[in-house]
Copies of this chain bind each other. A is one copy, B any other.
Amino acid sequence: MTLTGNLLIGQQSVAGERQSVHGINPATNQTLEPAYAGASTEQVEQACALAWAAQDAYRETSLAARAEFLECIASHIEQLGDELIERAHAETGLPHARLQGERGRTCQQLRLFARTVRAGEWLDVRVDTAHPQRQPLPRSDLRQRQIALGPVAVFGASNFPLAFSVAGGDTASALAAGCPVIVKAHSAHPGTSELVGRAVARAIKDCALPEGVFSLLFDSGYQVGIALVSDWRIKAAGFTGSRTGGLALMQAAQARLEPIPVYAEMSSINPVLLFPAALHNRAQALAEGFVASLTLGAGQFCTNPGLLVAQKGPALDAFLRAVTELIPHSTAQTMLTPGIFSAYAAGVTALQDNPRARTVAAGQSGAGPNRCQAHVFITDAVDFLADHRLHAETFGAASLVVQCSNNEEIRQVCEHLEGQLTATLHVDDADLALARTLLPSLERKAGRLLVNGWPTGVEVCDAMVHGGPYPATSDARTTSVGTAAIQRFLRPVCYQDFPDKLLPTALQKTNPLHLHRLLDGQREDASHGE
């Protein structure tokens, strides 16, 4: 398929009218064709108007029709074949195998949301039947379901060009909820975005849905994104990226006449606590696991283990010796973009220049542009607590070890952390009592707690939470990965004393969708009507 460099406004492929952006091969710094011209203000408005016009019809599609649409998107992405992988590889420097895995995850995610749509639990149907004889006042018949919020703006992320981008988790969950989606493509992979965007557009055509259900816009800067989040027709936004970017969107959303929710997943250093017995019993294995997680994908994961916390002593020394031996073998991997590489380099320099931190080990520096050299630093708890710069995320394969003198210092380090996506505990049986005392604090700090694992690797399933208190995300009440992500794009509506024929299907008395309703305070089997 020839890349056009065009926007997708509904089913129309049209050239943008603002400054253009090119993909760049980060392994060579070569510019990739074609140019992607940014959307003009009018083009943003066209996309919003189409989404607005599509919303009522789309949100009332049957569960089956909407699920089939999501599955159809997955099929069309698979049909892109090697071209998608080649283009994504050229634009991101990510290895083929990683991209193939990510494509599988992206399609599986769409199919999981299809299953979720079909099951209908997201409708959260609640029925309180009428009590006409109640004294002093009769009770009305009251029925609640969830409906789609309206058109959603989704911002592609650079570090997952498929799974967190044009047809990634935000898009899949918003479409599943019944919301039209307008994607602002990430400038780091415009060709990949075009390919996937056209796959979504083909699925819309195949499924005979209103064209406004999906549009794809490009931009060389921030104008399109701010215009989208500021448009009165947009009712929510999903974003994964930097804290600066997320805050800008949050501010734009709050400055509107009608504020809207922004689900921004921003920054996290993902503390890993190494407990005494675990550290004593398996320092070498922990060091190997740590280095593998740290350097995976050049450390370009939201859940990269950027902070280790442990008590000073021979066990920690053994762990650090192992890390010092392992890290120099880690090869320099190409980072996603020249911008991400320079931010990483600046972050490493800041730690090197900080008198409160010392370098433990560094990886290979590699030849060629944009290569990530892994770094491990160390500091004392007292210094960590005194210097907020040491709490900042360095996006890439850099991590800081915080040495504590006692359990009280460990507790203080935990209490002073910012909000996190994850917190990990490495424990043996002898550590459980101590771990238990820290759990309340860690629960308040993070969306996901792990035992004896590493935070990289985010399973797409019902129980996943990829979220957490600010600044990990803008809204700790939600997750951006897993089926619960659908709830971000829904709101409840109650229907009082509606005749059955005027009710939405999900709420009718015979329960034609066989939902697990909450009926007069009791959870029903799916098979029941009233």
**Chain A residues in the interface with B (C-beta under 8 A):** 55-56, 60, 101, 115, 119, 121, 124, 126-128, 136-137, 139-140, 142-144, 147, 149-150, 250, 254, 258-259, 261, 419, 427, 432, 435-436, 439-441, 443-444, 446-453, 457, 459, 461-465, 467, 469-471, 474-479, 484, 490-499, 501-502, 516, 518, 521, 523, 526
Distance in Å: Cβ of A94 to nearest Cβ of chain B: 16
A181–B298 Cα gap in the complex (Å)?
45
Which residues of B lie under 8 Å from residue A471 when comparing CB positions? Answer: 258
**Contact of A259 with B470 at beta-carbon distance under 8 Å, contacts A140-B453, A449-B494, A465-B492 already known:** yes
Distance in Å: Cβ of A331 to nearest Cβ of chain B: 21
Q: Which residue of B lies closest to A124 (CB)?
A: B484
- The answer to whether B126 touches A463 (Cβ under 8 A) is yes
**Contact of A144 with B493 at beta-carbon distance under 8 Å, contacts A115-B521, A432-B502, A502-B432 already known:** no
What are 27 residue pairs bridging A and B, where the CB atoms are less than 8 Å apart in the complex? A56-B441, A119-B521, A121-B518, A124-B484, A128-B462, A139-B459, A140-B450, A142-B459, A144-B462, A259-B470, A261-B475, A261-B477, A432-B501, A447-B491, A447-B492, A448-B493, A462-B521, A463-B494, A465-B494, A467-B491, A467-B492, A478-B492, A479-B492, A484-B492, A516-B516, A516-B523, A523-B526
- The answer to whether A451 touches B101 (Cβ under 8 A) is no
Instruction: Give how many copies assemble into the complex.
Output: 2
- The answer to whether B449 touches A496 (Cβ under 8 A) is yes
- The answer to whether B523 touches A128 (Cβ under 8 A) is no
- The answer to whether B491 touches A435 (Cβ under 8 A) is no
- The answer to whether B477 touches A259 (Cβ under 8 A) is no
**Contact of A127 with B463 at beta-carbon distance under 8 Å, contacts A448-B494, A479-B492 already known:** yes
- The answer to whether B496 touches A451 (Cβ under 8 A) is yes
Known: A142-B464, A477-B490. 14 other contacts (CB 8 A): A55-B444, A124-B484, A127-B462, A128-B464, A139-B461, A140-B453, A150-B444, A250-B254, A435-B502, A448-B496, A449-B493, A449-B494, A451-B499, A463-B494
